[in-house]
Amino acid sequence: MTETIWNILKNVADPEIPVLTVVDMGVVREVEVEDQKIIVSITPTYSGCPAMNEIESNIRWALEEEGYNKVEIKTLISPPWTTDWMTDEGKAKLQEYGIAPPEGSSADKSVLFGEAKKVMCPRCKSRNTTMVSQFGSTACKALYKCEDCKEPFDYFKCL
Amino acid sequence: MKAQLLEYTLRLGDNALILGQRLGEWCGHGPILEQDIALSNIALDQLGQARMLMQYAAEQKGGDFTEDKVAFLRPETEYHNCLLVELENGDWGRTIVRQFLFDTYNYFFYSALLSSADNRLQEIAQKAIKEITYHAQWSAEWLIRLGDGTEESHQRVQRSLNDLWEWTGELFSMDAVDEALLAEGIAVNLAEIKVQWDQKVNEILSLATLKRPEDAWMQSGGKQGEHSEYLGYVLAVMQHLPRMYPEATW
Ligand SMILES: [Zn+2]
């Protein structure tokens, strides 16, 4: 039963990065079934993530379409979301989409007043890249440019 | 104890809410597109953190309180943010100085809050600290860029630093609420993070070739609900819609 639900959720796209599903993103934390009720626990990527309400409705619609009408969606903040939860499949899809996936572990604290990472360009695979801005098109991404192919690109930063 | 925890939660929530509102004023007005976006993202993080804290405050208040009611329907004297975050944005340099002084404080504050005896505050800190780390890095880098930049940018940020300095004392002053909750292991010991703050601020100011102002008279009162003339204007803008259309949804 919960496996069926997980399979439905694997088709729910992330509203901000539609090539990824909410499962790829690691936003769905738990699926439980109590009597006839489905309880889905989700967690925000960033605390101010404006997509959370939409993710919630999209999950609800997807389940209703399959005939599950009693659905409860819980939002958890602990343990906090980390890019480590993004699936390998998700990272590969990001790369293909033109967004550099998070590199290394979220435990890397060098971010604080440290050096910017040398991220791989998703287009030409060069590591000769420079960070343009710590905050890109959304809070979860930084803006980079590639010094070889000269293309700007988004990097999904470690959290 | 319960009343003190609620006030403490509101202090943290109001810092995030009011600073988020102030930074939101920059949206569409930043000096370049990338930095306009950066500041909007930081504002959004602050708002997200404010929501977690307002939800907690609403649960503590009980009854039919909701996060929105807590955020939007209190009068000015019931806001408990520190005065620094309600001050006017001024120019880009002044916004950066305020952000740097506050982010650096916030970074050490939330690092300490990670070991709070209050479970919920600890969970919120775990979530928030990851975001605050990026904010603190960003504002320190900008302060260095402006301080060690042109003669004009150097002068402007030095002036802002001198102006804003008197608003930093409040960040570290412990009152009865802090003391009572510190004894329970819930609150952060502000004297401890002052040492860390001093060290980091001195390091970054030196990289930015800026002069640390002398400690003199310090403003206070925001935590206890006594605000500068600026908060009223912030609230007027922020509360206008929810007060005009109390049940509005969209
Ligand atoms: Zn390239």
ipTM of the complex: 0.86
Average pLDDT over residues B157-186: 98
Q: Check if the beta carbon of residue A77 is closer than 8 Å to that of residue B124.
A: yes
B137 touches chain A (CB under 8 A): yes
Share of chain B above pLDDT 90, in %: 96
Secondary-structure class of domain A2-81 per CATH: alpha beta
CA–CA gap between residue B97 and residue B147 (Å, rounded): 10
Residue to test with chain B: of A47, A84, A106, most B Cβ within 10 A: A47
Note the pLDDT tens digit of each residue in A58-89. Answer: 999 999 999 999 999 999 999 999 999 999 99
B59 touches chain A (CB under 8 A): no
Give every CB contact of residue B63 below 8 A, 6+ residues apart in sequence.
Answer: none
Mean pLDDT of chain B, nearest integer: 96
CA–CA gap between residue B75 and residue B61 (Å, rounded): 16
Domains of chain B (ranges, CATH numbers): 2-244 (1.20.1260.10)
Q: How far is A10 from chain B (nearest CA, A)?
A: 25
More confidently predicted of B250 and B144:
B144
pLDDT higher than threshold 90 for residue A106? no
Note the pLDDT tens digit of each residue in B94-138. Answer: 999 999 999 999 999 999 999 999 999 999 999 999 999 999 999
Q: Can you tell me whether residue A71 is helix, strand or coil?
A: strand
Q: Can you tell me whether residue B161 is helix, strand or coil?
A: helix
CA–CA gap between residue B9 and residue B187 (Å, rounded): 10
**A135 closest CB neighbour out of B38, B51, B140:** B38
What's the pTM value of the predicted model, to 2 decimals? 0.93
- Give the total residue count for chain A: 159
- The residues spanned by each domain of chain A are 2-81, 85-156
Which chain B residues touch A46 with a CB distance below 8 Å?
44-45, 48, 131
Residue to test with chain B: of A77, A135, A159, most B Cβ within 10 A: A135
Per-residue model confidence (pLDDT) at position B70:
92
| Strand intervals (E) in chain A | 28-34, 37-42, 71-75, 99-100, 129-133, 141-146, 152-156
Per-residue model confidence (pLDDT) at position A111:
47
Q: Do A111 and B41 touch (CB under 8 A)?
A: no
Q: Would you list which residues of chain A are within 8 Å, Cβ to Cβ, of chain B?
A: 44, 46-50, 77-82, 106, 109, 111-114, 132-139, 143, 157, 159
Task: Output the CA torsion B105→A111→A19→A4 (10° steps).
Answer: -70
pLDDT higher than threshold 60 for residue A114? no
Residue B155 buriedness (CB in 10 A; 0-12 / 13-18 / 19+): exposed
What is the Cα A41 distance to its own chain's centre?
Answer: 15
Per-residue model confidence (pLDDT) at position A104:
74
B8 touches chain A (CB under 8 A): no
Per-residue model confidence (pLDDT) at position A136:
83
Which chain B residues touch A45 with a CB distance below 8 Å?
none
Give the torsion sign (CA, B191, B196, B200, B205): positive
pLDDT higher than threshold 60 for residue A115? no
Q: Do A143 and B34 touch (CB under 8 A)?
A: yes
| Cα B183 to Cα B33, B80, B82, B126, distances in angstroms | 47, 21, 22, 22
Lowest mean pLDDT among A103-112, B37-46, B94-103, B222-231: A103-112
More confidently predicted of A51 and A147:
A147
Give every CB contact of residue B145 below 8 A, 6+ residues apart in sequence.
Answer: B153
pLDDT higher than threshold 70 for residue A118? yes
Which chain A residues touch B136 with a CB distance below 8 Å?
112-113
Q: Do B52 and A48 touch (CB under 8 A)?
A: no
Q: Do A49 and B48 touch (CB under 8 A)?
A: yes
Share of chain A above pLDDT 70, in %: 92
What is the Cα A95 distance to its own chain's centre?
Answer: 13
> Cα of A127 to ligand 1 centre, how many Å?
8
> Cα of A129 to ligand 1 centre, how many Å?
8
